[in-house]
Structure 1
Amino acid sequence: MARGPAPAVDLFPLVIAVTPSPTERQRLAEHLDGVAPLLLVADLDELRRLITEPQQPAEGSPTSAPVAEPEPADTLLVDSARSTARWRDREIDLTRLEHDLLTCLATEPVRVWSYAELHQAVWRDEGLQRRADVQSLVKRLRRKLKEIGTGVSIDAVRGLGFRLADHRRPSVSGT
């Protein structure tokens, strides 16, 4: 029996970024342009309104079939204002370093980030680029992501650095 081609699989169907900072939203929009559909909101209340309230088509625009909204349960949501990560009904607190690491990795989820780039993004210095610092932080963050049962993980790329990987296809939000 002949089958057609397998459907394309999107690893990251939607990126949701929650941050009160307009500057941070602008930076994320620039980094994620063309990577995936992007939703930028200032807080969780705004996100809830967008997901739950029906949107009216703009005047003069053609009406179309309703677009399926992403399931909030399948989204790893990083809340920068509260420094937490939420997966389904479970939430964990993040330290500043854990938050900054997860945010950095989520801005370009398929990119491999070098140790030096991660050290610069998280610790904001160029002098002490110790691999052990990054490895220790990744280990703690992996433990927390596993604790809430997400399919999102941080994969090591031997000799290069780390990248965010999604084994169960949830959407991953930045900050």
Structure 2
Amino acid sequence: MSSPAGDFDEQPVILCVTASRSKRAQVARLMSGHGVVLMFPDLQAVRAVLFGDPTASATSGAGAVALGRLVLDQQRQQVSWAGRVLPLTRLERDVLAALASPPLRVWTYQQLYEQVWGADYLDDASAVRSTVKRLRAKLREANATVAVESARGVGYSLVDASSHGRY
């Protein structure tokens, strides 16, 4: 292994993939001076950065993602339904972006909390529940056919409420 002061070409590249900011900080401290460390919150971000994957997460800042008439535009920091901009807070927008990111799935309270709030989850889902409650109300108010469905005791997923099924 080359010395930390060696040429960049001789430095190993270390990938760290974890949603936990504290774990990424820990890896950065441990690997300091041992190579180039690339930090990613999830595999979608890895694909987006390393491979230019067009199906990368809506939260990766790669433009707009559309699910039917729902459009999440990360660059403009706005969400619209059927062309009408929804008055979402940053947290509501980030929760919706996570739920809408491919592949659509059930997100646990822990995964949502760590993704949106960027902190370690301390087994208290109240912040996630409160944000989802406000998000649901705003989607209903806009007559959106997308809805946030509960997976009792687990978390949430995004569904097509008009057909009562998943996307």
Bucket of the pairwise TM-score, normalised by the shorter protein: 0.5 to 0.7
String of CA shifts for 1:139-159, please: whole Å, max 9, x gaps. Answer: 011111111111000000111
Bigger Cα displacement from structure 2, 102-111 vs 147-156 = 102-111
User: Which residue is equivalent to 2:140?
Assistant: 146
**Could you say what the CA RMSD is over the residues aligned between the two structures, in angstroms?**
3.2
Q: Does 1:101 align with 2:127?
A: no
User: Which residue is equivalent to 1:36?
Assistant: none
Q: Which has the higher contact order (CA 8 A, sep 6+)?
A: 1
SS of the residue aligned with 1:111?
coil
Rate the CA distance shift 1:41–1:135 in 2: closer, same or farther, 3 A.
closer
- Displacement of 1:130: 1.8
Runs ≥4 residues deviating over 6 A: none
Scaled by the length of structure 1, the TM-score of the pair is: 0.54
CA contact (8 A) 1:112 1:161 kept: yes
Q: Highest Rg: 1 or 2?
A: 2
CA contact (8 A) 1:151 1:167 kept: yes
Q: Does 1:29 align with 2:55?
A: yes
User: Which residue is equivalent to 1:135?
Assistant: 129
User: Which residue is equivalent to 1:54?
Assistant: none
String of CA shifts for 1:111-170, please: whole Å, max 9, x gaps. Answer: 11111001001101115342111100000111111111110000001111110011236x
CA contact (8 A) 1:155 1:162 kept: yes
Q: Does 1:167 align with 2:161?
A: yes
Rate the CA distance shift 1:26–1:154 in 2: closer, same or farther, 3 A.
farther
Aligned residues: 113
User: Which residue is equivalent to 1:87?
Assistant: 81
SS of the residue aligned with 1:122?
helix
SS of the residue aligned with 1:150?
coil
String of CA shifts for 1:87-111, please: whole Å, max 9, x gaps. Answer: 1142213221111101100014641
Scaled by the length of structure 2, the TM-score of the pair is: 0.56
SS of the residue aligned with 2:130?
helix
